[in-house]
A and B are shown apart, each in its own frame.
Chain A
Amino acid sequence: MLFNSLHFVYFFIIVTTAYFAMPHKYRWQWLLAASSYFYMIFMPIYILILGFTIVIDYFAGIYIENTEGAKRKRYLIYSLVANIGVLAVFKYYNFLNDNLSALLNSLGYQNSIPDLSILLPIGLSFHTFQAMSYTIEVYRGNQKAEKHFGIYALYVMFYPQLVAGPIERPQNILHQFYEKHYFDYKRVTDGLKLMAWGLFKKVVIADRLASTVNRVYDNPQDYEGLALIIATVFFAIQIYCDFSGYSDIAIGSARVMGFKLMKNFDRPYFSKSISEFWKRWHISLSTWFRDYLYISLGGNRVPLGRLYFNLMVTFLISGLWHGANWTYVIWGGLNGLYLIIELWLTKPLSKAVATIKLNQFPFLLKLIQGTLTFTLICLTWVFFRAQSVHDAFYILTNMTHGFQIQGLFSKLAIAKFDLQIIVISLLILVLTEWLQRGKSLITWLDVKPVYVRWSVYVLLGITILLFGAFETNQQFIYFQF
C-alpha cells in the first residue's frame, strides 16, 4: 500500500481510530493484523518469507539469551545466515548468476544454472536489517530477548516502517509496544503535520520532478550537457524528497498512535562535507552499517590502511544493499572513495583555507563547502539512478558539452506550469529546511500566533491539492530495496 494513495487514507483513519478505541491489551493484535494487511496488499504470498524470518529470529533471540560462549555465537550465526540467505535468494541470486555467466562466457564456458523468475519482496532489505539488528543486540547483551512472539512479530512488521524504514533498533521500539498510548491532542496533530509535510515533499516536489528524470535517464543518449545536469540535480532533489517524505509520513503516522521512531534525515544537502552528509542522510541505515559492520571491522581505531579498507568495504556493501546491480556497487564505492580522499585532504585544506584567510568569511566558506559537497553527491547519484554502468558513464562524459538553452525545456517536456511549481516548491523546501536549523518545523510553528500557524496549515493543504502530481502514481523509490 502506498502512503500517497487514497487506500492508505482509509487504512490510516480506520487503523488509528480503532487503535485508540480498543482496550490496550488488544492493540498489539490489531496493529499486527493491520500491518499484515498493509504488507499483503503488495504481494500476499511474500508474507510467508516475512513469517519465516520472524520465527527464526524470535527463537534465535531466546536461544542466544539462554546460552553462553560458542553456542551463543552459533545461534547468532544461524539467525544471520537465515536473514542473509533470504536476501541472497530473492535479491542477489540472479545478479550473482548473471555475473557468473559473464565470467564463464569470457573463459569460453557456458553457465547452465538458470535464473530465478521471482519478484523482489517489497522492502526486503529493510525488514531483514531490522530483524538482524534485533539478534545482534540480544547477542551483545544490549537487549533482552522478546518472549512475546506477537510483540516480536510486530517489531519487524510495524506498518509505518515495514517497507522503507526507518530501520529501528529493538531498544528504541520494542518497549513502546507495551506502553499504553492515550489520545494526546498535541502529539496527534504533530504527527499529522509531519505526515502532511512528507506528502508535500513526495507529491508536489518528488513526483513532479520524476517525469523529467525518468525521461532523461530512460534514454540518456537522446540528451547532452545541460539536460543531463538538470536531470541529475532533479534526481538529487527527487530522491531526497521522495525518501525523506516517506520517512516523515512513516514517523508521523507512528507518532499519531504514540510511537516515536528515529529520525532518518537531517537536512543532508546542507552538509559541508561528505562525512557530514552521511551523518544526515538515511541515518537509520548509516548508523546500522556503522554499528554492525564498520565498528565490527575495527572502525577507525585501526592503522590508516585498515581504516580505508573498513570504509570502502562498508560503503561497497551499503551500495549492494540498495540493489543487485553494479551501478549501486559503484555508487557505494564512490562514496567510500570520497571519504578516504576527505581524510587525506582535511588537514591540507584547512591550512589552505587559513592561508588565503577564507575562514574570515564563514558564510562564503560554508557556501563553497556546501556546493562542492552537493556537486560530488550529485555525481554519485548518476550511478544510483542510471539503468546501467554504460548509461552512467555516458551521462558523466556528456555532461560537459551541449549547453544550448533554446528548446531545452520542451526537450525535457517540462511545461511552464510544472516549471513554476518546481521553482516555487523548491524555494519553500529550502526555506523550510533553513528554518529547521536546530529545531523542527513543528517546534518553530508552535510559538507563532494562531493566524500564522493556520495560514501555514491551510496553505500546505491547498498546495498539496492544487500542485500535487497525483496523476503520475509514482511509487516510492526506496520500496524497490
Chain B
Amino acid sequence: MFVKFFLKVAVFAALTLGFCFLLEAVVAPRIRNENVYVAATIEKENRLAALPSPRLVFVGGSNLAFGLDSKKISDSLHLPVVNMGLYAGLGVAFGPNEVKEQLRKGDKVVLSVEYGLTRKGDSKMYAQLIDVNPNAARFLENSFGDRLKLMDINWQRCVSSLFFAALRSPDEAIYRRDGFSKEGDLVAHLDQPDPANKTNKGKILYRDYSEEINALNDFVAYAKNKGADVYYTYPTYMASEYQLNKEVIAKYDAQFQKQLTCPIINTPDSFVFPDTDYFDNVYHLNRAGREKRTQVMISILRDKVLTYK
C-alpha cells in the first residue's frame, strides 16, 4: 500500500512539475526580452569589473539611476565613476552584494537607499533579473523557499505571456537596458515630457530598519577589509512629499545616525527639490532636477569624501 501510494505521488509530481518545466523550457527563451530595464545590470557589472581603481561607485536604487550625471561628476572630481544604481525593488542587500567582489583598494563607494526599502526586495523583479542576467542570482539573498517561489514566478511569467499571445514583452519607452549611458546613468527620460502623475506618493511607513542597516554595515566592514571607503547619502525626494513624510524620514535618519557604521555625508533634505524637478516618481529626477542634484553631489563629495580621512 505504501509503495502504491508513493509511486502515485511520484507520478503526480512528475506530471505536474514536468509540465511546468517543459513550459519554461519552451516558452522562456521565446519571451525573453534582453532589453528589459534590469538587464542594464550586465553593462554596469562589466564596467565595474573593467574600470581601474580608484573609482567612485554609486550603489542603490533608481534615485541614483535617474538622478545623477556621472560624466559631469567624473570630470569635476577627476575620478572614473560607475553608477550601479538601478531599482529599489531589488532590495537593500542586492547593490552591495553586486559590487563586493569587484571592490579594490582606494575605491570610494557612495550608498543611497530609498526610504522603507526591504533588505530582500521584490521576488517578481528577481525572476526577470535572473532570466536576463543569470550571474546576478549570486547577489540575491534567497532562502530555499525564496528560490522555489522564484521558480514558480518564472513559470507564471511564461503562462501569463501565453495568455496574451504576445511572446516577447515589448520594450518600455524609458525603463530599458539601452536607455543608460556608459557610466550607468539612465538617460532615456531626459528628453521626455514629465508624466502628469507621479508614483510612490503618500505616507512612508516607518518600521525598524535594523535588518537593512545590518546589511549595509556588513558591506562597510567588507569594503574596509579590501581598502575601500564607504559613505552614505540620503536619496533625493520630491519637496511636497518630503513635507508630508518629514517625521518618518527624521525617524529613519535617527536610526541611521545611531546604527550605520559608515559616515553619512548629507542630510535628508540635501537632495529635496521642487516637485517640478521630478519625472514620474518621488525619487526620479528629470533633466533639471538631475542637474541640480549632480551639482550638490559634487560639492558634497568634494567636501566630505575626497578630503575625508
Tell me whether A298 is interfacial, beta carbon within 8 Å: no
CB distance from B173 to the nearest CB of A (A): 17
Contacts beyond the supplied A5-B145, A6-B144: 11 A-B pairs with Cβ under 8 Å: A185-B4, A189-B5, A416-B163, A457-B12, A458-B19, A462-B16, A462-B19, A465-B16, A466-B20, A466-B152, A471-B153
Contact B152 A465 (CB under 8 A): yes
- Across the interface, A6 reaches (CB within 8 A) one of B123, B145, B155, namely B145
Which A-B residue pairs are the 8 nearest by beta carbons? A461-B16, A6-B145, A417-B160, A466-B159, A458-B15, A185-B1, A462-B19, A462-B16
With a cutoff of 8 Å between Cβ atoms, the chain B residues found around residue A461 in the complex are 12, 15-16
Contact B12 A465 (CB under 8 A): no
Q: Give B157's nearest chain A residue, CB to CB.
A: A417
Contact B163 A458 (CB under 8 A): no
- Across the interface, A471 reaches (CB within 8 A) one of B17, B149, B163, namely B149
- Across the interface, B20 reaches (CB within 8 A) one of A185, A457, A462, namely A462
0/1 string, A191-227, CB within 8 A of B gives 1: 0000000000000000000000000000000000000
0/1 string, A448-481, CB within 8 A of B gives 1: 0000001001100110011110110000000000
Contact A417 B164 (CB under 8 A): yes
Give the number of chain B interface residues (Cβ < 8 Å): 26
27 contacts between A and B (CB under 8 A): A6-B148, A183-B1, A183-B2, A183-B5, A185-B4, A189-B5, A189-B8, A416-B163, A417-B164, A457-B12, A458-B12, A458-B15, A458-B16, A458-B19, A461-B12, A461-B16, A462-B19, A462-B20, A465-B152, A465-B155, A466-B23, A466-B152, A466-B156, A467-B156, A467-B159, A470-B149, A471-B123
Tell me whether B198 is interfacial, beta carbon within 8 Å: no
How far is it, in angstroms, between the C-alpha of A6 and the C-alpha of B149 when the chains are bound?
10
Q: Which of A1-47 contact B (CB under 8 A)?
A: 5-7
Tell me whether A56 is interfacial, beta carbon within 8 Å: no
With a cutoff of 8 Å between Cβ atoms, the chain B residues found around residue A416 in the complex are 163-164
With a cutoff of 8 Å between Cβ atoms, the chain A residues found around residue B4 in the complex are 185
0/1 string, A424-456, CB within 8 A of B gives 1: 000000000000000000000000000000100
CB distance from B56 to the nearest CB of A (A): 36
How far is it, in angstroms, between the C-alpha of A455 and the C-alpha of B144 when the chains are bound?
30
Tell me whether A188 is interfacial, beta carbon within 8 Å: yes
Task: Please count the residue pairs between chain A and chain B whose beta carbons lie under 8 angstroms apart in the complex.
Answer: 53
Tell me whether A110 is interfacial, beta carbon within 8 Å: no
Tell me whether B176 is interfacial, beta carbon within 8 Å: no
How far is it, in angstroms, between the C-alpha of A454 and the C-alpha of B155 when the chains are bound?
22
Q: Which of B120-169 contact A (CB under 8 A)?
A: 123-124, 144-145, 148-149, 152-153, 155-156, 159-160, 163-164
How far is it, in angstroms, between the C-alpha of A188 and the C-alpha of B163 when the chains are bound?
35
How far is it, in angstroms, between the C-alpha of A63 and the C-alpha of B182 when the chains are bound?
82
CB distance from A212 to the nearest CB of B (A): 17
How far is it, in angstroms, between the C-alpha of A467 and the C-alpha of B159 when the chains are bound?
9
Known: A462-B19, A465-B16, A466-B20. A185 touches B160 (CB 8 A): no
Q: Give A192's nearest chain B residue, CB to CB.
A: B9
How far is it, in angstroms, between the C-alpha of A467 and the C-alpha of B155 when the chains are bound?
9
With a cutoff of 8 Å between Cβ atoms, the chain A residues found around residue B17 in the complex are 465
* B-to-A contact residues, CB < 8 Å: 1-2, 4-5, 8, 12, 15-17, 19-20, 23, 123-124, 144-145, 148-149, 152-153, 155-156, 159-160, 163-164
How far is it, in angstroms, between the C-alpha of A462 and the C-alpha of B162 when the chains are bound?
15
How far is it, in angstroms, between the C-alpha of A466 and the C-alpha of B160 when the chains are bound?
9
Contact B155 A466 (CB under 8 A): yes
How far is it, in angstroms, between the C-alpha of A454 and the C-alpha of B19 when the chains are bound?
14
Tell me whether A171 is interfacial, beta carbon within 8 Å: no
With a cutoff of 8 Å between Cβ atoms, the chain B residues found around residue A188 in the complex are 5
Tell me whether A420 is interfacial, beta carbon within 8 Å: yes
With a cutoff of 8 Å between Cβ atoms, the chain B residues found around residue A420 in the complex are 163
CB distance from A282 to the nearest CB of B (A): 31
CB distance from A322 to the nearest CB of B (A): 27
How far is it, in angstroms, between the C-alpha of A473 and the C-alpha of B163 when the chains are bound?
24
With a cutoff of 8 Å between Cβ atoms, the chain A residues found around residue B5 in the complex are 183, 185, 188-189
CB distance from B148 to the nearest CB of A (A): 7
0/1 string, A154-194, CB within 8 A of B gives 1: 00000000000000000000000000000101001100000
Q: Give B9's nearest chain A residue, CB to CB.
A: A192
* Chain B CB within 10 A, most for which of A454, A457, A462: A462
With a cutoff of 8 Å between Cβ atoms, the chain A residues found around residue B163 in the complex are 416-417, 420
CB distance from A342 to the nearest CB of B (A): 43
With a cutoff of 8 Å between Cβ atoms, the chain B residues found around residue A454 in the complex are 15
How far is it, in angstroms, between the C-alpha of A417 and the C-alpha of B4 when the chains are bound?
38
Contact A471 B160 (CB under 8 A): no
Q: Give B123's nearest chain A residue, CB to CB.
A: A471
With a cutoff of 8 Å between Cβ atoms, the chain A residues found around residue B144 in the complex are 6
With a cutoff of 8 Å between Cβ atoms, the chain B residues found around residue A7 in the complex are 145
* Chain A CB within 10 A, most for which of B8, B155, B159, B164: B159
How far is it, in angstroms, between the C-alpha of A465 and the C-alpha of B17 when the chains are bound?
9
With a cutoff of 8 Å between Cβ atoms, the chain B residues found around residue A462 in the complex are 16, 19-20
With a cutoff of 8 Å between Cβ atoms, the chain A residues found around residue B124 in the complex are 471
How far is it, in angstroms, between the C-alpha of A185 and the C-alpha of B5 when the chains are bound?
7
How far is it, in angstroms, between the C-alpha of A452 and the C-alpha of B20 when the chains are bound?
20
With a cutoff of 8 Å between Cβ atoms, the chain B residues found around residue A457 in the complex are 12
How far is it, in angstroms, between the C-alpha of A188 and the C-alpha of B1 when the chains are bound?
11
Q: Give A469's nearest chain B residue, CB to CB.
A: B156
CB distance from A207 to the nearest CB of B (A): 13
CB distance from A468 to the nearest CB of B (A): 7
CB distance from A115 to the nearest CB of B (A): 21
How far is it, in angstroms, between the C-alpha of A183 and the C-alpha of B160 when the chains are bound?
40
How far is it, in angstroms, between the C-alpha of A6 and the C-alpha of B17 when the chains are bound?
16
Q: Give A418's nearest chain B residue, CB to CB.
A: B160
With a cutoff of 8 Å between Cβ atoms, the chain A residues found around residue B2 in the complex are 183
Q: Give A455's nearest chain B residue, CB to CB.
A: B15
How far is it, in angstroms, between the C-alpha of A466 and the C-alpha of B144 when the chains are bound?
19
With a cutoff of 8 Å between Cβ atoms, the chain A residues found around residue B1 in the complex are 183, 185
Q: Give A416's nearest chain B residue, CB to CB.
A: B164
How far is it, in angstroms, between the C-alpha of A321 and the C-alpha of B19 when the chains are bound?
45
CB distance from A472 to the nearest CB of B (A): 11
CB distance from A68 to the nearest CB of B (A): 51
CB distance from B196 to the nearest CB of A (A): 14
How far is it, in angstroms, between the C-alpha of A471 and the C-alpha of B153 when the chains are bound?
8
With a cutoff of 8 Å between Cβ atoms, the chain B residues found around residue A468 in the complex are 152
How far is it, in angstroms, between the C-alpha of A453 and the C-alpha of B23 when the chains are bound?
22
* Chain B CB within 10 A, most for which of A6, A461, A466: A466
Q: Give A415's nearest chain B residue, CB to CB.
A: B160
CB distance from B19 to the nearest CB of A (A): 5
CB distance from A284 to the nearest CB of B (A): 30
With a cutoff of 8 Å between Cβ atoms, the chain A residues found around residue B16 in the complex are 458, 461-462, 465
With a cutoff of 8 Å between Cβ atoms, the chain B residues found around residue A417 in the complex are 160, 163-164
Q: Give A219's nearest chain B residue, CB to CB.
A: B202
